[in-house]
Amino acid sequence: MSTDTSLVTRSHEENWQPVLDLAVEEVFEIMLGCRVKPVTQSEHKASRDFTAMVGLAGALCGILTVCCSKATAHQLAKAMLGAAAESEEQVADALGEICNMVAGNFKNKLSGADDRCMLSVPTVVSGGEYNVHSMVDGSTMTTMVLFENAPVSVTLQLNN
């Protein structure tokens, strides 16, 4: 599904939030076989045992992150693979791919951005004690969904 969106007319986070929501919903439905809908962020707090990151450069410049608990990351990998992941590395790989597909799906829905925006290969951080500091100084939008009743947070930070 493509959204008629141009960089000029839809440059505010309130306009792109539905695009990010849709990008997340499609990846979860198609690749994980799970229909999700965004939930209110204030009612849920996503753990950050795992954070997958994909950078965007070009017409859109910023970073997209996917955060969830360790247990949820394992469940996401299981849903993708159709069987339990064989290793922690495979769990990280699966989360990185989800992040990559959401980023790609998002930019492909923005006409004018898809040709002029490059994605990095994913990076995944795991562990309990860390903070992610982005140098991005523009808009931030977050889509939070529940996967098997556990929150998964998808955040897009873009430079102005």
Partner 1 sequence: MDDSSVMRKIVERSLRQAGIELDKVFEAGNGAEALAVLRENLVDLILCDINMPVMDGLEFVRQVPTVESAKGVPIVMITTEGSESHVVQALTAGARGYIRKPFTPDQVKEHVLPVLGKKP
Q: Which residues bind partner 1 (CB under 8 A)?
A: 26-27, 30-31, 77, 80-82, 90, 93-94, 96-97, 100-101, 103-105, 108, 114-115, 119-121
Nearest distance from C-beta of residue 45 to partner 1, angstroms: 27
Nearest distance from C-beta of residue 132 to partner 1, angstroms: 21
Nearest distance from C-beta of residue 20 to partner 1, angstroms: 15
C-beta closer to partner 1: residue 3 or 41: 3
Determine the Cα–Cα distance for residues 120 and 123; give it in Å rounded to an integer.
9
Please report the DSSP string for 74-143 in residue order.
Answer: HHHHHHHHSS--SSHHHHHHHHHHHHHHHHHHHHHTSBTTGGGEEEPPPEEEESSS--------S-EEEE
| H or E stretch covering 1 | none
CA atoms within 13 A on the CB side of 40: 2
C-beta closer to partner 1: residue 31 or 136: 31
C-beta closer to partner 1: residue 21 or 93: 93
Nearest distance from C-beta of residue 158 to partner 1, angstroms: 18
Q: Token digits for 56?
A: 């965007």
C-beta closer to partner 1: residue 49 or 93: 93
